[in-house]
Structure 1
Amino acid sequence: MAGIFNKFMNRGKFTCPFCFSEYDKERIKYVCPDCGETTYPKTSAEKKKPSIRCEHCGRMATVRLCPECGEYNKQIPEEAKGVIPLGALDADGSLPFCIIGVSSSGKTNFITVMLHELSRVSELRIALSAQNKYTRDVQRENYTNIYENHIPPRPTDPTELGDRLKPQLWQIKNLMRQKSNTTPTYTFTIYDGAGEDHSERLDPSSAICGYINASNAIIITLDPLILTNLRRMINPDVRRNSGASEGDTNSAEDIVNSVAAYIKAARGLNTNKMLTIPVAVVLTKFDTILQLDSLPAGAVVRKPSMTFSRGKVNLTEISQVNEEIRDWLYGIGEGSFIAALESNFKNFYFFGVSSYGEPPETQGSVNENIKPHRILDPVLWLFKEEKFID
């Protein structure tokens, strides 16, 4: 779930990516996997080490735990909570990032393909690496399903909300700003949350509320096929193969209002307050729209992305795409959808992306020739907003 970049961390302080408690690094617990006892770092050098000498048994204490949310059981070490990756301890900053999507919005597809493209587009000069086993396993499973097995990844399970839904922890480096022997390095945290289906069940003390509340920016993924007027234009076979919900559906504006209420509840805001943080409204499965004559043939959003060019984010192109999508929505009679967004979010931009590049040929499958369309545009805009890239 959740927003994007945080201010630089105080070098003597640390913010837990799981519970968001801030504390001195000397409070971090180093647990010995042999005896199960805790040792605390006593010197500046020890505060950055992957392990320190256990003061109880003399072996190495290698498990770093948050003093607030960390839990360790010697009998079942794989279930330890609040384990702090080494790279997070000496990072230059924290980049929490929240992605909220409603049912069938293609959110997991978007996250998986976005991460893959972020690490492989050489012009960006961004180095991305998983910081723990959970993150590696999630990305590997979803990547394998999409790119090798050619099936959609398993969607986010609503029953996994709360403390059982872990964030993905990535280390991200901006090589464009490399100086001498140092490279700006951040902890890039992705919270994959649900949307309007769970607005009635939010517990203010839950992890999911903490994640949303800690965000500096948010991506909302929406299936454009929730738009009533668009559904009428799309071939039923394309709708079905694209995973669109059939039968009765909530109106697009109802879904927007529900998602907004969900975010506001998590952040402790009254319903009449507008959210001021940057919000990227991502219309997924945009390949279905690219087939329509209602979208002008010369529209920039139809073309391959030039959002990142010559080492910089092109805000002019981002604005053009935003205006084109707005005009198209008004043109097909979906002004109420825009009004719902404008009544809840003060700073939002539209983005049209496709994780696969074209609609699946059959239901429950992914075409072999995967060509993502503008998949990085939303995150590049937010990176620019937070001054992570130029």
Structure 2
Amino acid sequence: MITCPYCFTKVAPGRIAFRCLGAGGRAKGCAPRPDTVLGAFRGGAGDPVLPPVFTARRAGRRAACPSCSRESAWRVCPSCHSRLPAEYCANPGKIVALVGAKHAGKSTYIAVLVHELMNRVGEELHSSIVPCDDRTIERYKQDFAGPLYGERKLLLSTQSAVASPRDPLVYLFTRTVGRLRRRTASLTLVLFDTAGEDLRQREMSELHLRYLSAADAVIFLLDPLELPGAHAALTGAARARSGTLAGDLMSDQMDVVARVTELLRGKSGKLTIPAAVALSKIDELRESMERQSALHRAREPIGALDLDDRDAVDEQVRSLLHQWEAGMIDRYLQQHYTTYALFGLSALGSVPEGEAVARSGIRPYRVEDPLLWLLYRFKMLHGVRR
């Protein structure tokens, strides 16, 4: 089965639909018409005008349009009519969902993680990451990389999907694994920039239920500046930036973890999908940690998961949660997930200066750690003890 990375409907490979290529050059084809299915899914002002969608008795890499006989390789999801890239259909991979509380820095995390996977981390792992559609290319450059890396401006808070419907960013991450028998393994990163308020409102849950239920793993991003017990460990600008949601009764970090877990749950018992739980903005709290803390060390780029380092960071973050009066998060995860891990990271690496990135620039710290752990769980990365 292939999961559509846009509407998250499961489709058998033989039931994938096609879109006619239409007329082009000297070739005759079907005339474009409003696609009401795609228009309804996108929730925009009007229906896009495109050549029609058709089904084939035996869907392969190509199929002939029954109306004009033109062969098409343009495959689409039969449920939402979004285009399914050929590479994605050939390597469906795993779907990783990213969720987080309000102000946790999800948009910034997405921008920096993709940038690092394209550059520093991609080179270390000998991997590639490519966008699966033109919309992903456009959105990443316009909404993420452009403002953050180009203009050095902080990204705006994500608007609720009710007011601003949007497509997910869909990337295919690929690397060669295995020592004796080499094979290519892929991971589908579906980064849906979910607003914190969308996760807390019960009437909005249906909008994200399919996204979460289709996930093979989940990354929780939590804001430590909103943990009441962490306030005393902050200084200067970081202290001024903390506790901004204290009056918002629906933005508690624990409530977001519980709400997402509720949406993920399909039956009784512990959830079996791996959960990576990361405290963002950890750079703003490092001064209060002991110098021998694992979070004072940068990860060594060894092309594998350092299991000793992983254990040390996990234990350090667990200790901090209990120290900052958030131990219930750890206890809840232990009760509801068979496999989970704790992380501390910083997408920017230093405290912003007003609405701009610090003059020292963007210096990400351990931003790739959750994904490396998931690659290890998916047997796409080996682990070592040193």
TM-score of the pair, normalised by structure 2: 0.80
Structure 2: 5+ residue runs without aligned partners? 24-29, 31-50
Matched, 1:366 2:357: yes
Among 3, 15, 21, the residue aligned to 2:3: 15
Among 296, 301, 305, the residue aligned to 2:290: 296
Q: Distance in 2 between matches of 1:39 and 1:259?
A: 41
Which residue of structure 2 lines up, in the alignment, with residue 326 of structure 1?
318
Matches within 5 A, 1:150-165: 150-160=152-162, 164-165=165-166
Which residue of structure 2 lines up, in the alignment, with residue 256 of structure 1?
254
- Provide closer, same or farther for how the CA distance between residues 22 and 178 of structure 1 changes in structure 2, counting only shifts above 3 A: farther
Deviates more, 1:346-355 or 1:164-173: 164-173
Matched, 1:285 2:273: no
Q: Distance in 1 between matches of 2:169 and 2:273?
A: 22
SS at 2:19's partner residue?
Answer: strand
1:64: Cα distance to partner?
2.2
Which residue of structure 1 lines up, in the alignment, with residue 222 of structure 2?
222
SS at 2:118's partner residue?
Answer: helix
- Provide closer, same or farther for how the CA distance between residues 237 and 168 of structure 1 changes in structure 2, counting only shifts above 3 A: same
Is 1:226–1:251's contact at 8 Å kept on the other side of the alignment?
A: no
Is 2:213–2:263's contact at 8 Å kept on the other side of the alignment?
A: no
Which residue of structure 2 lines up, in the alignment, with residue 66 of structure 1?
77
Q: Distance in 1 between matches of 2:336 and 2:354?
A: 35
Percent identical among aligned pairs is 23
SS at 1:304's partner residue?
Answer: coil
Matches within 5 A, 1:1-390: 13-17=1-5, 18-25=7-14, 27-34=16-23, 35=30, 36-41=51-56, 47-49=60-62, 52-59=63-70, 61=72, 63-70=74-81, 82-91=82-91, 93-121=92-120, 122-141=123-142, 142-160=144-162, 164-177=165-178, 183-195=184-196, 198-202=199-203, 206-235=206-235, 237-240=237-240, 245=244, 247-248=246-247, 250=249, 254-268=252-266, 274-292=270-288, 295-306=289-300, 309=302, 311-360=303-352, 362-368=353-359, 369-390=361-382
- Provide closer, same or farther for how the CA distance between residues 237 and 382 of structure 1 changes in structure 2, counting only shifts above 3 A: same
Q: Distance in 2 between matches of 1:171 and 1:323?
A: 32
Q: Distance in 2 between matches of 1:237 and 1:21?
A: 47
- Residue identity in the other structure for 2:355: G
1:375: Cα distance to partner?
0.5
1:209: Cα distance to partner?
0.3
* Aligned CA-pair RMSD: 3.0
SS at 2:161's partner residue?
Answer: helix
Q: What are the superposed Cα offsets for residues 66-100 of structure 1, whole Å, 9 maximum, x if unpaired?
A: 12232xxxxxxxxxxx2111211222x42211011
1:337: Cα distance to partner?
4.3
TM-score of the pair, normalised by structure 1: 0.79
- Provide closer, same or farther for how the CA distance between residues 199 and 275 of structure 1 changes in structure 2, counting only shifts above 3 A: farther
* Structure of greater relative contact order (alpha carbons < 8 Å, 6+ residues apart): 1
